[in-house]
Chain A
Amino acid sequence: MASTLFSTARYSDSLTVVGISVCTALVCEAISWLLIYRTSSYKSLKSSIDKASKKLETMKTSDATAVSSNLIKKSSRTKKIDRVETSLKESSRDLSLFKFKSGAVVALVLFMVFGLLNSLFEGKAVAKIPFVPIRVVQKMSHRGLLGDDMTDCSMAFLYLLCSISIRTNLQKFLGFSPPRGAAGAGLFPMPDPKSS
């Protein structure tokens, strides 16, 4: 009886966390659209980054296939590539700064939501992980939980997983993903932090 109640509560808890993550993602994107995405500054910066990165790709591709070994031509091509790269980096930096200023509001919303979830689910396992995570991950997955069962999943870990998956896909779906040419789109691209 106790284990039934426990598993029932845990499943509804995990659904609650997912539901709140979805709502938070929608609210954050709405705020970001109001403060960032619909502004002309953002649109012009994004457009210049897209153009610069496409131009850079074309120049690097034609540079790689160039037959001529003329040193003067090579150095002028290299200088042009350097100029475009510098312009791309400056535009990316300006975009980051622009988003950072407006992202403070979204950060406040996220902080409040996390505080609410923490107060609701502190010390409670909201789900069961199907394997024992590695030690580094356990610090997050077993955060605030009692006992030695490392397959118990804390609210913070589930919320993190939901946030990353839901927000990344939502941004992609709405077309609010950061431009690919912008700096910081590495091996593990996270949802755009400046808008969240």
Chain B
Amino acid sequence: MRERKSGKSNLQQQSQESDHNSHSSPFKLAKLLDPDATWDKDQLCDVLHWIRQALALVFGLVWGAIPLVGGIWFLLYFVLSTTIIYTYYAIVLKIDEEDFGGHTALLQEGLFASVCLFLVCNLHISSFLKQVTSNLPT
């Protein structure tokens, strides 16, 4: 049976500390891979947001560079990025999603901006490569 970390006791502790500062604990990079770390909802959502943006940047550049043409690849990006986010918070961090607003709240964090960023990167790389290849002597 998979162990899930509950945020309930953390939530109550954090609400007491919230009068003093906006974040209950200072953020450290080591926390990103620590399944025993305690998470504030805002911190966790911020981390998931930036992970989504990084994935959009990487996939957008790679998809555009190959290039992968067609709506199916756009859907594949969507499925992959969602799976990575889910794997990160459910398996790596062992977060109990009920204490952070459920799967919907966590999975939709940064989603729209990341889709737009993916499309922008993809458009630019594929346009750039088209220019390069059309300039090559035949």
Contact = CB atoms under 8 A, between A and B. Distances in A.
Interface of A: 3-4, 7-8, 10-11, 14-15, 18, 50-51, 54-55, 57-58, 61-62, 65, 127-132, 153, 158, 160-162, 164-165, 168-169, 172, 180, 187-191
Nearest to A7: B131
Interface string B72-89: 011000000000000000
Interface residues of B, number: 47
Contacts of B124: 11, 14-15, 18, 127
B113 A130 contact: no
Contact of A7 (B71, B120, B134): B134
Contacts of A50: 18, 22
B113 A11 contact: no
Given A131-B71, A165-B116, A172-B46, 13 more contacts: A50-B22, A57-B15, A129-B123, A130-B63, A130-B64, A130-B68, A130-B69, A160-B116, A165-B113, A168-B113, A187-B111, A189-B112, A191-B113
A128 B125 CA distance: 10
A7 B135 CA distance: 9
A55 B111 CA distance: 27
B33 to A, nearest CB: 22
Contacts of B22: 50
B6 to A, nearest CB: 10
Given A130-B67, A161-B116, A187-B108, A169 B53 contact: yes
Contact of B15 (A55, A165, A189): A55
A184 B122 CA distance: 29
20 contacts: A4-B131, A14-B127, A58-B12, A58-B15, A61-B99, A65-B8, A128-B130, A130-B67, A130-B69, A130-B122, A131-B71, A131-B73, A153-B123, A158-B123, A165-B114, A168-B113, A172-B50, A188-B111, A189-B112, A191-B113
Interface in B23-67: 41-42, 45-46, 49-50, 53, 56, 63-64, 67
Contacts of A54: 14-15, 18
Contacts of B67: 130
